[in-house]
Every structure is written in C-alpha cells, then in structure tokens.
C-alpha cells in the first residue's frame, strides 16, 4: 500500500471520527442512545411497555392519515401555525415537527416533534411508546403528559384505529427540529397525576349502526365537549352550550353554542357541512380546528351533526365580535352576553310513587363519580358531593333537567321494571349504576 493511499485512508478515518464526536446525525443514527424509562412519580399509573409492533399496510396508513389529518387534528397542536391566515395553516415543511406554546411570552407547553426523525423526533420511539402516549398520557420515557395532549379523548380510539395512526406517523417525512420538553409544576403534577389510566384490555370498534352512534365516537375523539362546554363558570349553561374561553398563542375566543337551539346550531346537516368545510368563509376562529375537520367525509360530518342534534338544547347567545357584557346564562362576560335571559324549565307533573322509585345512590367507577337522588318536600333533587341539592324538573316521567347542570338525567329500568341506573346526558351519555345496598332501603326523604 502506497503512502498516499495510507494517508488517504487515515484522512477519511479522521473525518469519520470527527463527525461522530461533533454529533453528526448520519453517524449517530447507527448508535442511538437507549431510551431510559423514568421511575413513576407517586400516584401515577404507568403500564409497562410491550414489544408489540403494528403491521405496516396501505389500508392502515390511509386510515391513519384520515384520522390524524382529520378528526384527531394531530398536526394542529404538533405543528407551527400561521395565525395571520384563515384557519391558521401549517407552514410548508413544518407539519408534525413540534411547537412551543407560549402565553404572554412564557412557555407553558411543548408539543414534541413526532416525525420519525431519530434524534429530535419520534424516530427511536417504539410503536408501543407512541400508542401509550396517544391513549394513556404517558410519554415515551415514562413521564406524565400534560392533558393538553388529548389522551383522555383519544383513549376512545379502537385498537385498529390506534394502530392505523401509529403506522401513518411512521410514514411521515422526518423533520429535524430540536425542542425543549414540557416542564410541569408541582401544582400541575398534583392536578394531572390521576388522569392517565393504563389500557390493558382490547378496545373494540364502537357501534356504528346509526349516524348518531358514529357521531358520538367522532365527537368523543375530537373532544367537542371539552371546548364547547363551560366547565368552570359561575353557572353551568350545559354541555355543548359554549362560552368556554379558549386561548392559543396570545389569542382568546369564546367557544360557540353547538346545541340544537335557535341560538346555537340551528342549521341542518348541509349547513353544518358548509360551515366546517369553509370555516364560515374563513371567518371562523382558527382555535376551532376547522382546517382539519373539513377533511372529514360527508358521511362523517353528517353523523357528527346527527349526534349533536341529540343533545339538550340550551339558549345561550355567544359571539366573538364586540365588547363583552354580563351574561345571566353562564355568569360571565362575553359578546352578546346581555342578550341572554334565564328561562325556567317547564316541567310536567309526575306521581310521587314514581319519584320514590328513583331515590337512591348511583355510581360509575370509571369516573369515580357517585351522586344521590333524594325526595325533598315532594320534589326530586340531585345531591352531588358537597354542593347544595339541585331540584330536578321532569321533562318526561323518567327524564329530568336541572338548573345549572351539564344535561338532563334519564332513569332506566331493568327487565324486571326496577330502576337500575341513571344516565347523565352531558357531553356523552354517562351511565351511573344504582348501588344495590342503598337501593334496597331507598324510601325517600320527607
């Protein structure tokens, strides 16, 4: 071997070693650092990772694209946005590359780069790391995720839809984009630590026999009720009744009333599709991710409209134009607030013997929620925790509304005619089963 060849090989070797020491991505890709799982913080439920992988098929990739680019709106949070254009589109080449969320110049959330880039993205995350983060709120390294990551809604994803989303994310172009990690405060950890729940059993496809059932699944995945319900106002106007203050990157809007009331979503399915497809000709606030939802099929948008039409109508006028004024319906201030009036629910008479059938305690373990139904002075009341009893007004002999509640309560009987559960008709139908030992001695209060 000549001296020139030896010198040339030595020069090449020196360049390779130098690039490795400088952190060259091409060389580092061959020797990735292992991802170490963090020890769970007290109270955090973490499912151990598995070695499962999802078969890459064209059908799954297509389904995953439809979900991620549509109803899940993954890129809406995990991408930079141009808020100066209608809908807040994503700048070219930045889809899924992550985004730093700020309020008043301060970072409060970082949506990570989830492109398959190996060093700054999700390229070295296993399929189960992605699956666990999406549905269970646990990061790839075992950390607690901020609930702004919609895992509480995405836990509804069927196993097959989850696999499809992961397969699609794996197919994205890799984008190098170094970002910090979200840092939760001690107070946030205390608030959020109980939210993640491991999924250890199969999640099947929900029933889609009717448009309403299909729409229920879509509304749950999109967390429509999360944005369009005022959860912490002075008075609860009701599920989907709007008035929730939503902030993004220094912008603030009030969510619309999308209940089937003349002051809310009074238009038919064709009108609903037109609103979502065009974002009201681009005038709809970009905080409502219509730019993504418009990619849904006509059938799915029709199904979503059909489900929303089943919700309890609430009179609540809301706008994002003009000054805020006091609102009697939600107790807050927003444009058109002063145009609202509280209208008492008109009930019907129900025999007391039927009312006594409903007295008892009801519970759903999934939400750790127990409520009691009592008969006070001849009228049915709901007692929820330490809050004052709320009078229930009969809409039918088995369905009752209340002032300042999320939605009506519907009592259901079993095959033998005994009251077996009460269903809270709010952002979804939540069934609370009657507690047997209490039901046996329920006789009502004087």
pLDDT tens digits for 64-90? 999 999 999 999 999 999 988 999 999
The string of pLDDT tens digits covering residues 368-384 is 999 999 999 999 999 98
pLDDT of residue 31: 55
- The closest alpha carbon to 92, from 102, 100, 81, belongs to 81
DSSP per residue, 112-157 = ---SS-TTTSSTTS-HHHHHHHHHH-B-TTSPBPPTTS-HHHHTTS
Assigned fold of 352-439: Lipocalin (2.40.128)
The residue length of the chain stands at: 446
Q: How far is CA 8 from the centre of its chain?
A: 59
Task: Indicate whether 235 pLDDT > 70.
Answer: yes
| Mean pLDDT of the region 101-118 | 92
* Token pair belonging to 87: 């809908």
Higher per-residue pLDDT: 168 or 13: 168
Task: Indicate whether 413 pLDDT > 90.
Answer: yes
Task: Indicate whether 13 pLDDT > 90.
Answer: no
Q: What angle (nearest 5°) sits at the alpha carbon of residue 150, between those of residues 232 and 261?
A: 50
- The closest alpha carbon to 432, from 445, 442, 423, 441, belongs to 423
State the distance between the two ends of the chain, measured CA to CA, in whole angstroms. Answer: 106
Domain assignments of the chain as residue spans, ordered by start: 30-192, 211-339, 352-439
Q: What angle (nearest 5°) sits at the alpha carbon of residue 150, between those of residues 138 and 425?
A: 125
Q: Give the burial class of 347: count Cβ atoms within 10 A of its Cβ; 0-12 exposed, 13-18 middle, 19 or more buried.
A: middle
């Amino acid at each position: 071997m000549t001296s020139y060849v030896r010198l040339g090989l030595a020069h090449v070797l020196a360049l390779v070693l130098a690039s490795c020491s400088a952190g060259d991505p091409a060389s580092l890709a061959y020797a990735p650092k292992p991802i170490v799982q963090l020890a769970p913080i007290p109270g955090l439920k973490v499912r151990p990772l598995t070695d499962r992988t999802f078969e890459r098929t064209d059908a799954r990739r297509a389904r995953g694209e439809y979900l991620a680019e549509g109803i899940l709106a993954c890129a809406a949070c995990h991408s930079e946005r141009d808020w100066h254009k209608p809908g807040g589109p994503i700048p070219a080449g930045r889809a899924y590359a992550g985004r730093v969320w700020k309020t008043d110049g301060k970072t409060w959330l970082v949506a990570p780069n989830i492109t398959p880039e190996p060093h700054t993205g999700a390229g070295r995350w296993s399929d189960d790391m992605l699956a666990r983060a999406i549905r269970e709120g646990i990061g790839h390294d075992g950390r607690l995720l901020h609930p702004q990551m919609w895992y509480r809604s995405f836990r509804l994803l069927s196993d097959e839809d989850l696999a499809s989303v992961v397969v699609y994310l794996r197919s994205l172009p890799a984008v190098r984009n170094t970002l910090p990690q979200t840092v939760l405060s001690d107070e946030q950890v205390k608030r959020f630590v109980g939210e993640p729940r491991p999924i250890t059993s199969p999640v099947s496809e929900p029933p889609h026999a009717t448009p309403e059932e299909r729409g229920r699944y879509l509304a749950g995945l999109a967390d429509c009720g999360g944005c369009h319900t005022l959860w912490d106002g002075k008075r609860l106007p009701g599920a989907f009744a709007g008035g929730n203050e939503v902030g993004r990157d220094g912008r603030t809007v009030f969510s619309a009333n999308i209940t089937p009331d003349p002051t809310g979503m009074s238009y038919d399915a064709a009108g609903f599709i037109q609103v979502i497809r065009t974002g009201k000709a681009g005038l709809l606030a970009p905080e409502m991710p219509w730019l993504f939802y418009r990619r849904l099929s006509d059938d799915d948008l029709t199904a979503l409209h059909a489900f929303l039409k089943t919700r309890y109508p609430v009179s609540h006028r809301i706008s994002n134009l003009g000054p805020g004024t006091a609102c009697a319906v939600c107790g807050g201030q927003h444009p058109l607030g002063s145009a609202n009036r509280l209208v008492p629910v008109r009930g019907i008479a129900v025999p007391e013997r039927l009312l006594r059938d409903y007295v008892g305690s009801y519970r759903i373990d999934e939400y750790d929620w127990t409520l009691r139904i009592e008969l006070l002075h001849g009228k049915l009341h709901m007692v929820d925790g330490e809050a004052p009893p709320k009078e229930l007004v009969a809409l039918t002999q088995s369905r009752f509304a209340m002032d300042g509640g999320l939605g009506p309560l519907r009592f259901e009987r079993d095959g033998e005619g005994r009251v077996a559960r009460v269903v809270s008709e709010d952002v979804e139908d939540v069934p609370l089963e009657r507690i047997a030992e209490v039901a046996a001695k329920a006789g009502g209060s004087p």
